[in-house]
Structure 1
Amino acid sequence: MVDNPSGGTGHKGFSRRKFIAGTGSLLGVAALAGRTTTAQAAAVPAAAPIASGDHVPVLVIGTGYGGSVAALRLAQAGIDVHMIEMGMAWDTPGSDGKIFCSTLNPDQRSYWLRTKTKQPLNYFLGFPIDRNISRYTGILDAEDFAGITVYQGRGVGGGSLVNGGMAVTPKRENFSFVLPTVNPDEMYDTYYPRANAGLGVGVIDSAWFESASAYQYSRVGRKHAGRSGFPWGFVPNVYDWDYMEQEQAGTVTRSALAGEILYGNNYGKKSLQKTYIAQAKATGRVTISPLHRVASVAPAAGGGYTVSIDQLNTNGDTTNVKTVLADRVFFAAGSVGTSKLLVKLKATGVLPNLNDEIGKGWGDNGNVMCGRANHLWDPTGSLQSTIPCSGIDNWTAGGAFSEVAPLPVGIETFASFYLSITKNPNRAQFSWNAATGKVDLNWQTAWKQPGINMAKTIFDKINAKEGTIYRTDLFGVYKIWGDHLTYHPLGGAVLDKATDNYGRLVGYPGLYVIDGSLIPGNTSVNPFVTITALAERNIEKIIATDL
């Protein structure tokens, strides 16, 4: 069996438990005191939202990967942290008894302030499948810019709520392309292992995989990749694989096998709420204000920063405006959120000394999607797990790594579906539009073509070998490529350009960036493990030197 993209192997008998153990213990690598147990977290009462006039030592904007790492490590170092989250807490069941709705039956919980769904795969058999919903502060934001729609998680836990959980560490030989100013030795020896441990990463049991009906689609993907000479391998994930096996056996409530992923996963997935955020809350030093949106961060006369915050209701209306003082502020609103806020603050003169690299270096991680129509003797299964577990690696030869992705529509489709990450070189820039009072992004749909060409190095060859064709009914009428979106926004406040080499915003002591906006547009694989590991690296340095 070939090496998988994480650097491990997909051979039979490889234990997910050994993988987790091999990444190292959080206790062993953190070298920071003050951690309490998850059991203690239940005894900590829910804190009131931040109040106007409050003074906090550290304010973190966002609760995604970078922000959650910063909050936990700062709290373990004895520092009180308040986190501001634009989305909901997602801790209260709806009328159906579940917190999240399924991908097949989206309701108002599915989308951020939309009255109609905007599904990434928005056609089936050539017919549009989006439906009307009530306007609500739902979990998935499909944010439209010129030329591209950017999908982002909205809620405590950020993107971890809505992604497929593919926890991939880039191959070491590709790292200089990913983060050219960061020492790979420290990342692969310390921070990637720390991130994998903190996220609860594991690998599917290879023996169980062979017989699981929910992964027939992945086995077909393996067969077709192998016959065309492409390396295929298992890919780590943050899903609880023991729970997955019980789902298949019918002994627990189904989650990944019930079409849950795009709009949240109710049971098996280890989102940040269950890992970094749970540990941060357990310290007793971290509080979170959901449905709050930071509007401005300005230097305060007596030191620190004055932060203006809008409180929202579930219709997206501002119900209260609060002003607080923070000694230090960490921007962790994601690549788009952080970039938009910093570009606005620079252009409007609130933070005029931010350098001219702010807003630059944004990329889509080369995301393109496609489907293939298989022969009738190659069914992919009517039951498909929403959690992908494998990928095809043609990065070195063709510039593409492709997830063998599910198409969980509940019927047999005889289709193989793929999300490709490609070495697309195109980069966009955020800029302030004074006329509209908004931030624009200058991405062009045509800029996806290099990524399409790179993905074709895999799928043209597979189609030729198998005598199959591309599906043309999944993204429109007679449209092969899903070239209209990204799940993996990166860049906009690039490390060692817009910031110093640890995320400090030059010219403003006490302001930091600690999310995916630091990464210049591409990680060669799914990005969240790299975002987490980079945050672990940066916050350790900041605690040691700035605090």
Structure 2
Amino acid sequence: MVESIERVDAVVIGSGFGGSVVAHRLAEGGRSVVLMERGRSYPPGAFARTPTEFGENFWSPGDELYGLFETWSFRGLEGVVSSGLGGGSLIYANVLLRKDPEWFVHDSPLPGGGYENWPISRDDLEPHYDRVEAMLDATPYPYRDTPKTEAFEMAARAAGHDTLRPPLAVTFADADGAVGPFLPVAPKPYGNLHGRARFTCSQCGECDIGCNYGAKNSLDHTYLSAAAHHGADLRTLHEVRGVRPVDDEWEVRYRVHRPGEGPPAEGAIRAQRVVLGAGTFGSTYLLLRNRASLRGLSPALGTRFCGNGDLIGFLMGAKEQIDKVARARRIAGSRGPVITSAIRVGDRVDGDGSTGRGYYVQEAGYPGFLNWLLETAQLRSVVSRSTRVALTMIAKRLSLAGESNISADLAHVLGRSSLSTSSLPVLGMGRDVPDGVMYLDRGRLAVDWTTATSLEYFGAMRTTMSEFARSLGARFVDNPLWLAKRVITVHPLGGAPMGRNEFEGVVDPWGEVWGHPGLSVVDGSAMPGPVGPNPSLTIAAFADRAADRMLESWPRQRRRRRPATGKEPHMDATTPEPEEPPIGPAPGASGAPGASPTSVAFTEQMKGFFVLGEGDPRSAAADARVRDERMMFELTITAPDIDAFVEGDSHEGVATGYLESDALGGRQQVERGWFNLFVGSARDDERLMKYRLWLTTDAGTPVTFVGFKEVRDDPGFDLWEDTTTLFVQVLDGHVPPPAEVSDTGLLDPTDPAVLGAGVLRIAPLDFAEQLTTFRTTGPGGAEAMARFGSLFLGRLWSTYGRLAKEEA
């Protein structure tokens, strides 16, 4: 019996725009809430600024990095997300735009089949938009003299576009309404979890790398502080690994990172509700890894991925005519928040004559210190100026004048910094095609998405950006990745999309996972397509709506899980395992009294196809091959006592090693394993090679891998096929071996205890390598190997020898 497990009303996983909102609402509603965030807390002043700090500011615990940024590289795109208390709000550009009413599309066809469907409308979200905007103190950018804003709006008007100043989650004014930089921010009634002073926006352009002044109304300063005020337990450096239902509760398995102190600690907690808010990559990854524990997940899992149409471009070297002379236009992209102004380009669904897929373009600021990098990048020009000035200074020192004031000379070396002053990044986002697919590849998250189906959309956006460049006398420069038709997204969406039913979506219109009451997804992964504008506000409003439903329906009874088999109860963390049957004979059971037995072992690797939700190995393998769902194992098979192994009827050995299957969440170590060589079956002309492995998924769900090879006297000489083909099932729970050794161990394909099935095989080269792995321990190794070989070959000969003679 294990120790008692902590229990709460709700566990929220992730602290972004979905998780933070729900944690606050549930805590405010009187529920006990534990929020788990894998990253650190970042109070004002804690964000990286030096090169050394930035070098360590990435999230990769396996490399002992526990920083803010996590970067992903997939087919067709790069992704940038964050790890920290406050999630994406720590590095987003503060924009709070509502999704356009017309862009909640229905039955919008997608390349390759299927449709983009939004089961909710703008009207459904309207009151929640209001509530979130009020909580985040959304306000348009108030300054009228910011060069980059003026330049962008001038270029937009010249290109025929109306501009808008979107609401920003930034504090620009003090408690008295005075607008200005570095003014004290009035504390909120719910306090601030960091306990540090905050100041109004300094216009430093550092929003995307963390605001060190506390001017951003990020989630840690708002929703999370309010959640803590109402009693929510916010736990940082807690990374969730598994989720599973246990009786009428949900169990969450997690690890606690301890940087500099040693390996992570493991833990478990149970709740009536579990809310996934770990972001598109995080939540989808968790669901994919825990499919074996979450039976019956929608086939839509992993679909409808997109990057919300993200594209970055650059307007370089803007110029203006002054007294008929072209001079660098002062844009000063590093002054102001990252985004202050935007335009909207219409969509064919708007019904106003617009064509194509709609999008937004926004000007983008950047931190002031990047100006130095931009200017230093012009190394040839800098070196040339420096050389000329150095020669001039030497000449002056050698002259009779001997001038000592070199200020003007140094000013010439630095130059006018025209490139950084006259350049501006621009950001685009909108309705790209949500036809990407997310899946696991050897336990790692993978995404198949391409710009190919959205080239018309991206082409139109690049044309708009080029028009802006011409209006400013600048040249338009693509993101270098665009040369390979790749994009960078900071707004990944989809993977667990909402839908009108369990076939169309993973979650319902309120974020609850179809078929799994009490489990919800409230982040960007639940979006069934692109939001269009910056998605943060829509995700938060969706989460707020989901929280309403949770509170209205609490408490709620879940269906109990079915037993693992008709005879064996499902085992969970509080159920003691039955006494395990012994494997092999006790030491000294054969040979001279007290003598050490001689063992024989070999290593075997098999690979094939396996899929959840089907019970017949052959048909399951065919389906898995189409879906590219793979499985493999590497086992060391040991006969602990060769005498007992050869003489007994069960020819039972021990199997150790690992099994790897994305359907089961990646690589799992074998906790206990059985192997039987050439035992009898229900047919006289058949012998069985049997495998049984106990494993436990990351969610804590015990499962049993069972498989058999059948060696049969069929018409035709199919020795290779028989001895290298393994028919397998994975069963719910740790199921002991059957009483009859002739039982294959596989259940009826329709038995509810069968989680999935497939077929594994040994490739010829792997079989040849397997033959080199045989080894013995103990006395009489050569004799032991001969006895094992005699059993192996003898059984094969008894089955195939007669048929071989007849064919000869």
> TM-score, structure 1 length as denominator?
0.77
For 2:132, give the aligned amino acid.
Answer: A
Change (3 A) 1:316 1:417: farther
Matches of 1:316 and 1:404, distance apart in 2: 44
Q: What does residue 184 of structure 1 align with?
A: 122
Deviation at 1:459, TM superposition (A): 2.1
RMSD between superposed Cα atoms in Å: 3.0
Which of 9, 31, 54 matches 1:79?
31
The answer to whether 1:296 aligns with 2:242 is yes
Matches of 2:183 and 2:26, distance apart in 1: 42
Cα shift readout 1:166-203 (whole Å, capped 9, x = no counterpart): 11112333344797211432322x11111111222111
Change (3 A) 1:332 1:426: closer
- The 5 Å alignment of 1:163-312 reads 163-176=92-105, 180-188=118-126, 190-205=127-142, 209-211=143-145, 215-242=146-173, 245-247=179-181, 256-267=202-213, 268-284=215-231, 286-300=232-246, 302-312=247-257
Q: What does residue 416 of structure 1 align with?
A: 424
Q: What does residue 402 of structure 1 align with?
A: 361
Q: What does residue 456 of structure 1 align with?
A: 462
Change (3 A) 1:406 1:258: closer
Matches of 1:110 and 1:240, distance apart in 2: 26
Q: What does residue 515 of structure 2 align with?
A: 507
Deviation at 1:454, TM superposition (A): 2.6
Matches of 2:41 and 2:506, distance apart in 1: 31
Q: What does residue 693 of structure 2 align with?
A: none
Deviation at 1:217, TM superposition (A): 0.9
Q: What does residue 437 of structure 1 align with?
A: 443
Matches of 2:184 and 2:50, distance apart in 1: 20
Change (3 A) 1:103 1:508: farther
Change (3 A) 1:179 1:193: farther
Q: Which has the larger radius of gyration?
A: 2
Matches of 1:258 and 1:510, distance apart in 2: 44
1:142 is paired with a residue of what secondary structure?
Answer: strand
2:363 is paired with a residue of what secondary structure?
Answer: strand
Q: What does residue 298 of structure 2 align with?
A: 355
Q: Is the contact made by 1:381 and 1:414 (CA closer than 8 Å) also made in structure 2?
A: yes
Matches of 1:250 and 1:224, distance apart in 2: 35
Matches of 1:389 and 1:516, distance apart in 2: 24
Which of 489, 493, 498 matches 2:492?
489
Deviates more, 1:137-146 or 1:442-451: 442-451
Deviation at 1:481, TM superposition (A): 9.5
Cα shift readout 1:238-274 (whole Å, capped 9, x = no counterpart): 0112269432899997865334222211221110011
Q: What does residue 528 of structure 1 align with?
A: 536
Cα shift readout 1:266-311 (whole Å, capped 9, x = no counterpart): 2211100111111111112x001111111111121x3212221011
1:471 is paired with a residue of what secondary structure?
Answer: strand
Deviation at 1:446, TM superposition (A): 4.5
Q: What does residue 13 of structure 2 align with?
A: 61
Matches of 1:102 and 1:540, distance apart in 2: 40
Q: Is the contact made by 1:166 and 1:388 (CA closer than 8 Å) also made in structure 2?
A: yes
2:139 is paired with a residue of what secondary structure?
Answer: coil
Greater strand percent: which structure? 2
Q: Is the contact made by 1:428 and 1:443 (CA closer than 8 Å) also made in structure 2?
A: yes
Unaligned regions of 5+ residues in structure 1, if any?
1-50, 116-133
Cα shift readout 1:312-338 (whole Å, capped 9, x = no counterpart): 133797421112222211111111110
2:132 is paired with a residue of what secondary structure?
Answer: helix
Cα shift readout 1:187-233 (whole Å, capped 9, x = no counterpart): 22x1111111122211122xxx222xxx2111101111101101211
The percent of aligned pairs where both chains have the same amino acid is 24
The answer to whether 1:89 aligns with 2:54 is no
Change (3 A) 1:256 1:480: farther
Change (3 A) 1:444 1:84: same
Change (3 A) 1:334 1:382: closer
For 2:125, give the aligned amino acid.
Answer: M
Matches of 1:485 and 1:81, distance apart in 2: 35
Deviation at 1:538, TM superposition (A): 1.4
For 2:533, give the aligned amino acid.
Answer: V
Alignment: residue pair count? 458
Deviates more, 1:501-510 or 1:176-185: 176-185
Deviation at 1:153, TM superposition (A): 1.7
Change (3 A) 1:86 1:451: farther
Matches of 1:521 and 1:513, distance apart in 2: 15
Matches of 2:491 and 2:163, distance apart in 1: 22
Deviation at 1:536, TM superposition (A): 1.1
For 2:445, give the aligned amino acid.
Answer: V
1:274 is paired with a residue of what secondary structure?
Answer: coil
Q: Is the contact made by 1:386 and 1:406 (CA closer than 8 Å) also made in structure 2?
A: yes
Q: Is the contact made by 1:113 and 1:316 (CA closer than 8 Å) also made in structure 2?
A: no
- The 5 Å alignment of 1:355-374 reads 355-373=298-316, 374=318
